[in-house]
């Protein structure tokens, strides 16, 4: 072999060796690259275990979510120290047949990461357990089920943190009939689960979720739960829903002719029982059917009928009995000469319909709890206690209004006070009729009522015009009412939040561009919704604080339309107004959800939660 051939062969061998080594390097690089987690979901494996072999309908059982975290990686604790880190959170989709009575996250460990500049962070590592206690509905039919859920995690190693991931969790189980026997399993796992301390009545008063009510009842402290529910009902009187109820109560008892103390008090009790009966029945209906609380007010005919009743009551306040209101109608309203207990009870039933907008987070939790329980009788008594609390002030107001006519020299001023409430009832009657036929102008009805009512009560009404002091008081009161009307009119001219009509496209746009979203679910017949529009959404601070968000509005006036039904179920809306906030990833910030009226200061606190969550 010549030197030239030997050199060429050596060149080929060198080239082959280099090529081989290059491919080995590429293979090593590819394996290493693919071995690195591409998201937080790649760093943890999920499994689940139940505490029983089969779930008994109507009974509690325990669930353990097992997190197996890869070596070298950690996931953030449920409540991380740093606000920019995403905490571990487990959520279940209950599908109306379960309630969550307790959830317990593992104790985190302290760890020092290089990327955090030596700061101690709270994390989970190795194998950890998330424990939960659930109660199956007594109406749950035997069979095989799969309970879906999601686990949100964010993983970090010593150098960096990965993007958070949502991991789907599927929990299969079998349900057997109520009263059946089952076998405990996985005792070695659940022995580490320390039960939540027994709740007290204060827990229910502060309740914001159905499992808090369930825990209180299941702890054998049902009496305390009912006491707490009574006070929740009492607290509803701090909401705008009471405006129509106050006026109607005074009109009903102001027309009573029997001024015996015991008779007036018994009729007031009867009246409150009527309110409680109606409110309880409608509440249970909403809970067991899954319909929107207050759904009965979506009908224009119902709204118009309520408006007509208000106007009829107003006639009684002005003493226009010569108009010959039909005896059957007047007896039901408790007006005129017939003011017996049946008429008073029916009046309470009608007023119970007005209580529909009286909602708040505890009421939504109670609706969910009663709906999951699936027991109509139990649900009725729970709502009955709630509505007795709601109606308690009207027991006092009705008794006082009925007895005040017995006071000496109350003729002129009592007649004038009746006319004040007559004006209020005319305004409310026109308000409800406006809701039925021209909802866009209902606020102008209020302005008109205040201006015209102030002029009439202060300067046209002839009651006590021969008494200088009384005439002066009327003029001052009338002028004050006119000023209020002008202020309301000026308030209508204020700038407000500029809302967009809800669309899936806008929601998707917000998610793609990392823009937080606020969604307002409202209805034309919802008085707290109007209160939000007038007081909260016109506040310059609220307008400015939400300017960086996409602000969407969903009209649930006709809640049973196909479009409303889809959105109600998608966002779990039980009543209006409900306002939800979505972060930059399109996930709802549950702690910021608003149900019922909220003043601007508290509203801004909820907005800050979104800002902090997005920073």
Edge-to-edge strands of the sheet including 578-582?
500-501, 550-555, 517-522, 578-582, 594-595
**Cβ(223)–Cβ(514) under 8 Å?**
no
pLDDT, greater one: 340 or 596: 596
500-614 folds as: Glutaredoxin (3.40.30)
The overall pTM is greater than 0.85: no
How many Cα atoms occupy the beta-carbon half-sphere of 303 within 13 Å?
Answer: 24
Decide if pLDDT at 87 tops 70: yes
- CA-closest candidate to residue 214, choices 102, 62, 381, 380: 102
pLDDT, greater one: 516 or 591: 516
494 confidence band (pLDDT: 50, 70, 90): confident
pLDDT at 202: 41
- CA-closest candidate to residue 558, choices 597, 525, 520: 525
pLDDT, greater one: 612 or 161: 161
Give the pairing of strands 98-104 and 74-76.
unpaired
| DSSP 3-state of 42 | helix
pLDDT at 96: 58
**Cβ(170)–Cβ(57) under 8 Å?**
no
Give me the mean pLDDT over the 59-87 stretch: 84
- What separation in angstroms does the CA of 70 have from each of 66, 125, 260, 465? 13, 8, 79, 88
Give every CB contact of residue 293 below 8 A, 6+ residues apart in sequence. 282, 283, 286, 356, 359, 363, 364, 367, 574, 575
- The tens digit of pLDDT for each residue in 156-196 reads 887 777 878 888 899 998 999 988 889 999 988 888 786 44
Instruction: Give me the chain's average pLDDT, please.
Output: 76
The neighbour count for residue 456, using CB atoms within 10 Å, is: 16
- CA-closest candidate to residue 449, choices 473, 432, 471: 432
Q: What percent of the chain has pLDDT over 90?
A: 17
Decide if pLDDT at 404 tops 60: no
Judged by average pLDDT, the poorest of 111-120, 152-161, 272-281, 442-451 is 111-120
Q: Report how far apart the first and last C-alpha atoms of the chain are (Å, whole number).
A: 74
- The tens digit of pLDDT for each residue in 210-226 reads 445 555 555 445 676 77
pLDDT, greater one: 48 or 236: 48
Burial of 168 (0-12, 13-18, 19+ CB in 10 A): exposed
- The tens digit of pLDDT for each residue in 120-160 reads 788 899 999 999 888 887 778 899 988 888 888 888 887 77
91 confidence band (pLDDT: 50, 70, 90): confident
- Alpha-carbon distance of 300 to 24, in angstroms, equals 77
- Alpha-carbon distance of 603 to 598, in angstroms, equals 6
User: Angle at CA 108, nearest 5°, toward 46 and 588?
Assistant: 65
Which of 192-206, 475-489, 570-584 has the highest average model confidence (pLDDT)?
Answer: 475-489
Decide if pLDDT at 547 tops 90: yes
- Alpha-carbon distance of 41 to 33, in angstroms, equals 16
In what helix (H) or strand (E) does residue 100 lie, and over which residues does it extend?
Answer: strand 98-104
Give the pairing of strands 74-76 and 127-136.
unpaired
Decide if pLDDT at 78 tops 80: yes
pLDDT, greater one: 523 or 23: 523
Domain 40-196 in this protein, CATH class: mainly beta
pLDDT at 365: 60
**Cβ(549)–Cβ(584) under 8 Å?**
no
pLDDT, greater one: 502 or 563: 502
Chain-centroid distance, C-alpha 580: 9
């Amino acid at each position: 072999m010549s030197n030239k051939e030997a050199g060429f062969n050596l060149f080929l061998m060198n080239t082959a060796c280099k090529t081989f080594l290059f491919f080995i390097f590429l293979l090593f690089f590819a394996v290493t690259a693919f071995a690195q987690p591409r998201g937080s979901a790649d760093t943890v494996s999920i499994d689940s275990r139940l505490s029983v072999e089969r779930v008994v309908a109507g009974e509690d059982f325990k669930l353990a979510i097992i997190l197996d975290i890869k070596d070298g990686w950690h996931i953030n604790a449920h409540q991380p120290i740093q606000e920019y880190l995403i905490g571990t959170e487990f959520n279940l989709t209950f599908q109306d047949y379960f309630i969550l009575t307790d959830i317990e996250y593992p104790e985190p460990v302290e760890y020092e990461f290089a990327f955090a500049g030596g700061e101690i962070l709270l994390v989970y590592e190795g194998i950890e357990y998330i424990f939960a206690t659930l109660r199956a509905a007594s109406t749950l039919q035997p069979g095989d089920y799969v309970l879906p859920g999601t686990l949100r995690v964010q993983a970090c190693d010593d150098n960096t943190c990965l993007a958070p991931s949502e991991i789907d969790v599927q929990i299969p189980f079998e349900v057997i009939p109520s009263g059946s026997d089952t076998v405990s399993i996985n005792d070695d796992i659940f022995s580490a689960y320390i039960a939540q301390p027994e709740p007290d009545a204060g827990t229910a008063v502060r309740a914001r979720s159905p499992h808090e009510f369930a825990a209180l009842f299941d702890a054998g402290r049902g009496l305390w739960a009912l006491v707490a529910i009574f006070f929740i009902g009492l607290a509803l009187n701090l909401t705008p829903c009471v405006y129509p109820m106050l006026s109607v109560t005074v009109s009903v008892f102001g027309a009573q002719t029997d001024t015996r103390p015991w008779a007036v008090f018994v009729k007031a009790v009867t009246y409150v029982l009527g309110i409680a009966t109606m409110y309880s029945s409608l509440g249970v209906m909403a809970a067991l059917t899954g319909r929107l609380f207050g759904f009965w007010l979506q009908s224009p005919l119902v709204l118009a009928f309520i408006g007509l009743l208000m106007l009829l009551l107003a006639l009684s306040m002005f003493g226009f009995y010569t108009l010959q209101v039909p005896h059957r109608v007047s007896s039901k309203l408790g007006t005129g000469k017939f003011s017996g207990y049946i008429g008073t009870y029916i009046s309470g039933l009608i007023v119970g319909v007005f209580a529909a907008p009286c909602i708040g987070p505890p009421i939504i939790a109670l609706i969910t709890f009663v709906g999951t329980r699936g027991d109509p009788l139990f649900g009725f008594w729970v709502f009955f206690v709630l509505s007795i609390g709601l109606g308690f002030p009207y027991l006092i107001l009705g008794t006082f209004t009925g007895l005040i006519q017995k006071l000496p020299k109350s003729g002129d001023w009592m007649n004038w006070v009746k006319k004040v409430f007559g004006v209020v009832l005319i305004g409310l009657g026109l308000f409800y009729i406006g809701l039925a036929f021209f909802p866009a102008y209902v606020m102008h009805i209020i302005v008109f009522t205040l201006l015209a009512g102030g002029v009439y009560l202060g300067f046209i009404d002839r009651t006590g015009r021969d008494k200088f002091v009384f005439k002066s008081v009327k003029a001052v009161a009338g002028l004050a009412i006119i000023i209020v009307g002008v202020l309301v009119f000026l308030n209508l001219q204020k700038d407000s939040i500029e809302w967009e009509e809800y669309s899936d496209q806008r929601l998707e746009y917000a998610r793609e561009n990392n823009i937080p979203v606020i969604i307002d679910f409202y209805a034309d017949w919802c008085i707290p919704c109007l209160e939000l529009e007038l007081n909260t959404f016109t506040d310059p601070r609220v307008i400015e604080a939400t300017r960086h968000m996409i602000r969407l509005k969903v009209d649930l006036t006709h809640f049973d339309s196909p479009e409303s039904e889809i959105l109600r179920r998608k966002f779990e809306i039980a009543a209006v107004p409900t306002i939800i906030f979505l972060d930059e990833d399109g996930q709802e910030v549950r702690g910021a959800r608003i149900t019922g009226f909220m003043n601007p200061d508290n509203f801004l606190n909820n907005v800050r939660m979104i800002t902090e969550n997005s920073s």
